[in-house]
Structure 1
């Protein structure tokens, strides 16, 4: 009976300690929305058409459902081991022309979106298998190089 109690106690203790991790959980930065910078907003001028605004800013993340004359560009960066950076640009149109620009958050700060070195998922287009394909010469290049 005493051996059973020791076994059960040891099992419970190992189960509780096994749930703890000293290495921590891998976290990654989470980006959402349209990246908005001060340079992009500086290019906007009142009187620009919607197409010109799309060329500078890209497609809006949100178009107001009841007011098609308002576009919202939102960006949120939740750093894995840091804070949260939020930016918002609201553009208002009248007669398909830009009339008002409203900004929230610090647009002047640079945001580093490069993947950190070390363990974790590899971004697409960076792995060793991406270098296996070599470009094939065109038929014109083959004919020029032929003796």
Structure 2
């Protein structure tokens, strides 16, 4: 009986001590806005049309509400275990031609996003009947 009490007390003490340990919390990078790379910016030059710029950069995050001659591309990354990365690219058009490129932030830094490419565990374990919606011209 006394041996059983010691075993129970020992197991209780070990479980309480294990509850005090810190394993860490999973965090992920949180990107927001348009991804801006040095390769994309280096392809831009004055005289390009709006459609050429949109092909390289994608649609702008912000268009000036009172003047459609300014496009703003903003990228903000809150890194899970670090600081933040901020980039801003302001493009000005005149007569549908690119005339000015204003850069803010470190355009030379490469951003690596720590994200999984596949579906989550709920879809993976669902079998053949589960489908992942595709976004794009053929999807939603």
TM over 0.5: yes
The alpha-carbon distance between structure 1 residues 21 and 72, as it changes in their structure 2 partners (threshold 3 A), is farther
* 2:136 aligned partner: none
Structure 1 residue 126 displacement after superposition: 7.4
* 1:12 aligned partner: none
The alpha-carbon distance between structure 1 residues 24 and 126, as it changes in their structure 2 partners (threshold 3 A), is closer
* 2:118 aligned partner: 124
CA RMSD of aligned residues (A): 2.3
The TM-score, its normalising length taken from structure 2, stands at 0.68
Higher relative contact order (CA 8 A, sep 6+): 2
What does 1:107-146 align with in structure 2 at a 5 Å threshold? 107-115=107-115, 123-125=117-119, 129=124
Listed as ranges, the gaps of 5+ residues in structure 2 are: 1-19, 129-140
Structure 1 residue 55 displacement after superposition: 0.5
Query: CA offsets, 1:48-102, max 9 Å, x none?
Result: 1100000010000000101110000000110011000000000000001000000
* 1:37 aligned partner: 37
Displaced runs of 4+ in structure 1, greater than 4 A? 125-128
SS in 1 for 2:93: strand
Listed as ranges, the gaps of 5+ residues in structure 1 are: 1-19, 116-121, 134-147
- The 1-side partners of 2:71 and 2:22 are apart by 46
The TM-score, its normalising length taken from structure 1, stands at 0.65
